[in-house]
Amino acid sequence: GFQQSRYSAFLPYQEEIINNILEKRDVLAVIATGGGKSLCYQIPPLVTGGLTVVISPLISLMKDQVDSLVTQGIPAATLNSSLSYDAMARTLADLEAGRLRLLYVSPEKVVQARFLDTLRELNVTLVAVDEAHCISEWGHDFRPEYRRLRILKEVFPEVPLIALTATAVPEVQRDIQKQLNLSNPAVYVGSFNRKNLQYVVTGKKDAYPQLLDYLRDNPNRSGIIYFSSKKRTEEVAQKLQEDGVRAQPYHADLPGSFRNRVQEEFIRDEIDVVCATNAFGMGIDKPDVRFVIHYDMPRNLESYAQETGRAGRDGEESDCILFYSPGDRQRCLYSIERDGLNHPEPEYYPRAVRKLSDMVAYCETTQCRRQHLLRYFGETLTEVPCRACDVCMLPDEFIDGREIAAKIINCISQLPGSFGITHIADVLTGSRSRNVLARDHQNLSVYNSGNGYSSEECRSFIRQLVANGYLDQSSDQYPVVTLNERSQAILSGDETVQLSRPNGSQVRNRGETGQNERPFDASLFEELRSVRKALAEDLDIPPYMVFHDRTLKEIARRYPGTLEEFATIPGVGHAKLQKFGDIITSAIRDYRSRQHPGDERGMGLSPGAGDATALSGNDHHDLTVSEGTLSPTHTGVPDQAPAPPEEIPDDALLEEAYALQGYIRDLRGELRQAEKLHKELLARARGSGIQENETYAVTTQVSRRRRVVAERFYERYPEVFVKIAKVTISAAEAAVGAEALDECIQYDESEKIKVICKTE
């Protein structure tokens, strides 16, 4: 009854995996986030009537899954250290009485001798190990406590065991089977191609303004922004709050109570954005995360795939944006070196550096990013261009790189020895740097052969050639670039080479609705979201556990007015029909009666009416700019309201939609002008010399800081960089001189403005 009431069909491999489990066969399932892994171990106990023990690494993840199952009428519980004595006693009593079908426990709990003795007395018919990549030192998130789980096959030799993970390359898959003692397991590796995710890599220059523009273009959408630095999570969260974004920081050093509150507020849609380190996310079972942004590059593609996989778990279109700078490689390398000092696995360092090189290649590639990512996980993508990554969507931003690529390869072939990217670029661009002159490389025929490009552009081109396989780069601390077999193909003219100029990419907004999304009534959708939030608050559960966004959109397409009609909506099972059916259908009838007074069913409102509404989204502004003054002109509707969709001929629908799109664009332009005027007025107020009047006081504090950009200094002077402990102004000047240091200096200017209202 459970499967039939909620789902019309299984996702790929789900049915096969469930059948294997019912046949008591071990299973390894590597299925991307959003691919339906949890259903594979939730269905069998409903069929067998036995108990499934689920081993999960995080208490928050267990709680979310248990809450969701209970909401659907399925008996499930968790045993963990956060429970009160009474709650633990109730769960143990339910276990002994055979009332539970799923029990969630931690890896530490399940291997305790006393707890294993308890499990032996129960009707355990399945053991599920979630996040199974944690058991492998070859994986990206190794947890030693997972190693002890191998005892489970000894205690329950006849009970099938399923290991599940979203990201595991072949070597990790083999290690999981070995470490868990799986017996002739059925192995299912699903597609890693999340078609609803759009991948974008953009330059890190002006990262915060790019970020703020994106968030303002996508208001009221849930998202996660990942950082490598705990300090920066707090700094950016604070700036976003000041700029009107509902954001909070999250990292391991914050108090546990604060972290729990942030997680709870995010799940319940009380905040929109979490600025986090990678400590945040594994325990988040939130299906409507619409974007995942990496402010800093992760250390490997497994982490990147898992973190971006937290976007769009409901199948709706979502964005994955990565801000990238070449200096990210050095930052990650330092982190790897630090972790490698005490790592028990001798192969850790070279393996981690190799994975880092794969991550950099993803950022630098000028070929389809989706294809690159899938190839890393052993999957071939034939549908290229994918039309959902920045490379495939913006081909006009790339140049024909055959000529400069040939010059780079000629330069490398003539250099006496092996050198790094910076030195090769210096020779190409005719630099008079100390390293070039000391080696007499200014006398080579290739010197200054790339003078049409800057040193930064040449460095970027070289990295792109490495990423696309035309050059090789070593994995040393100071990597050198060498030629390979594919290099010759460029010289012979057999290869078409596509290169991107640095800093050309910008974060782009996907828009309110995807190209393939069917129209829905966005006004009703927002109203249903409010009803859903109220229901969730009453039940003390996250809103998505009431209904997913996809279900609400389908309701906003069909307008079900009776329980019979409501029961046909995908995502509405028997339990939810009983709990929420009357409330939702009543809200729909009320909405339609307000839209069409006197029409009981509101038949004049077509489901197609959502087309225009969905396009318009949240772009309602009250202000426009006219000759330096602000005046209220717009109220969120066009000056001439568009005709109802049912009155527009079919051949004119697109024209009408595009007209509305143009109106939205104009409104955004007016908002940008208003913001510009706002800044100008503040500047005039501060520069007028009148710092206060009877009502307000404006105070301004400007600070200017001169600092060495470490990554720039390293690229110019790698040998000096490693000799000085800290790249301070004084240390760097002593090493290379004040004049040479100028090119590595950056000035940071910050301004604090405070407006004080002096009247009550």
Radius of gyration of the chain (CA): 29
| pLDDT over threshold 90, residue 514 | no
Alpha-carbon distance 262 to 249, whole Å?
8
Q: Does the structural domain 197-394 have CATH classification 3.40.50.300?
A: yes
Cβ pair 15, 89 in contact under 8 A: no
pLDDT above 90 covers a percentage of the chain that reads 27
pLDDT score of 693: 53
* Strand runs labelled E in 610-655: 623-626, 629-632
CA distances from 171 to 287, 353, 442 (A): 30, 16, 47
Exposed, middle or buried: residue 518 (CB in 10 Å: 0-12, 13-18, 19+)? middle
How many Cα neighbours within 13 Å face the side chain of 693?
4
Residue 102, strand partner residues: 52, 76
Dihedral in degrees, nearest 10, Cα atoms 577, 582, 587, 592:
100
**599-605 average pLDDT score:** 47
Encoded tokens for 654: 């697109």
* Amino acid (1-letter code) at residue 351: R
Of the candidates 128, 172, 170, 131, the one whose C-alpha atom is nearest the C-alpha of residue 152 is 128
Taking the domains of the chain in order of start, what are their residue ranges?
2-189, 197-394, 397-500, 522-613, 619-687, 696-757
Which CATH superfamily is 522-613 part of? HRDC domain (1.10.150.80)
Q: What angle do CA 475, 478, 482 make, to 5 degrees?
A: 65
Higher pLDDT, 555 or 570: 555
Cβ pair 423, 417 in contact under 8 A: no
Encoded tokens for 751: 């301004």
pLDDT score of 447: 94
| pLDDT over threshold 80, residue 118 | yes
**465-491 average pLDDT score:** 85
pLDDT score of 509: 47
CATH T-level assignment (fold) for domain 397-500 = Arc Repressor Mutant, subunit A (1.10.10)
Answer yes or no: pTM beyond 0.75. no
488-492, 498-502, 517-521, 586-590: the lowest-pLDDT one? 517-521
pLDDT score of 21: 95
**65-80 average pLDDT score:** 86
pLDDT digits (tens, 9 = 90+) for 657-679: 666 766 776 777 777 778 778 77
166-175, 199-208, 344-353: the lowest-pLDDT one? 344-353
**78-93 average pLDDT score:** 84
- Is there a shared CATH topology between the 2-189 domain and the 197-394 domain? yes
Residue 77, strand partner residues: 103
| pLDDT over threshold 90, residue 415 | yes
- Helical residues (DSSP H) of 23-97, grouped into ranges: 37-48, 59-71, 85-96
pLDDT digits (tens, 9 = 90+) for 130-164: 988 888 877 666 777 788 898 999 999 999 999 99
Mean pLDDT of all residues in the chain? 81
- Element spanning 544, H or E: none
**Contacts of range 724-732, beta carbons closer than 8 Å, 24 or more positions apart:** 732/708
Residue 8, strand partner residues: none
| pLDDT over threshold 50, residue 629 | no
pLDDT score of 187: 94
Pairing of strands 745-757, 696-708: antiparallel
Encoded tokens for 511: 């828009």
Higher pLDDT, 118 or 685: 118
pLDDT score of 517: 56
**577-595 average pLDDT score:** 87
14-28, 272-286, 372-386: the lowest-pLDDT one? 272-286
**741-747 average pLDDT score:** 78
pLDDT score of 760: 43
pLDDT score of 318: 93
Alpha-carbon distance 162 to 18, whole Å?
10
- Element spanning 104, H or E: strand 102-105
Exposed, middle or buried: residue 476 (CB in 10 Å: 0-12, 13-18, 19+)? exposed
pLDDT score of 755: 64
- Element spanning 718, H or E: helix 718-723
- CATH for 2-189, options being 3.40.50.1000, 3.40.50.300, 3.30.310.50, 1.10.760.10: 3.40.50.300
* Strand runs labelled E in 663-721: 696-708
3-state secondary structure 562-620: CHHHHCCCCCCCHHHHHHHHHHHHHHHHHHHHHHCCCCCCCCCCCHHHHHHHHHHCCCC
**10-23 average pLDDT score:** 91
Residue 294, strand partner residues: 226, 322
pLDDT score of 608: 41
Higher pLDDT, 142 or 1: 142
pLDDT digits (tens, 9 = 90+) for 438-458: 899 999 999 999 988 888 889
